[in-house]
Amino acid sequence: MKSKFSLLALLSLLMMLLPLFKANAQRYSLKDMKAQMIEDWERSKAYTDQYLNTMPADKFSFRAVDSIRSFAQQMIHLAQANYFLMGTAVGQQPPANIQSDLEHNMAVQNKDSVMQLVDASYDYCINAVKTSAPDNWGEQRKIFGHEVTELGLMLKTFEHQAHTRGQTTIYIRLLGIKPPQERLF
């Protein structure tokens, strides 16, 4: 009987305190999520720029092994995927010059051209998030035979660029260079 009374008293106390916890809890809105995404894209752009600046200009053609992309090609792939994936997410066509096979175009594989292309792709993604309507983030997009929400595809775009940038760490390390320190914040 005593334990039932204790349990009842504890539940009563929790019921009285619950409104206090709710009143102090902050709501996280779609506007907050959008602002966080923009901040993350801006941070990721700066982090990728550190990678691009860490790699010496004369090593942009470096390949860890012959059967994979060069450092420049990896970064060009990152940029083109940023345009393609984010463009699909928000229903925009990437610029015409982005849709060509830039990975095999030697004229754009120098450090300056790669940096310009990569930075422009990040600016494109940042602007796409800034101008997107969070109310539409639940709309379905079809890509590679899959149905994905607009928000889901925006997140996959972010995941892809982080994955691709991460792959280039080995290129930098194989040249005996220390890669940039991770930037989570």
**What CATH number is attached to the domain comprising 86?**
1.20.120.450
Flag whether pLDDT at 7 surpasses 70: no
Of residues 160, 164, 22, the one with CA closest to residue 85? 160
Taking a C-beta distance cutoff of 8 angstroms, is the pair 78, 166 a contact?
Answer: no
What does the pLDDT read at residue 156? Answer: 97
What does the pLDDT read at residue 14? Answer: 64
For the entire predicted model, the pTM comes to 0.84
Count: domains in the chain: 1
What does the pLDDT read at residue 181? Answer: 92
Range of the domain at 54: 29-174
Of residues 34, 24, 29, 60, the one with CA closest to residue 128? 34
* DSSP code, position 106: G
pLDDT tens readout for residues 104-152: 889 899 999 999 999 999 999 999 999 999 999 999 999 999 999 999 9
Note whether residue 8 is domain-resident. no
Note whether residue 97 is domain-resident. yes
- Compute the distance between CA of residue 43 and CA of residue 151 in angstroms, rounded to an integer: 19
Interacting residues of 125 by C-beta distance below 8 A, sequence separation 6+: 41, 82, 86, 157, 158, 161
Note whether residue 183 is domain-resident. no
Q: What token pair was written down for 185? A: 């914040």
pLDDT tens readout for residues 17-40: 667 665 555 787 889 999 999 999
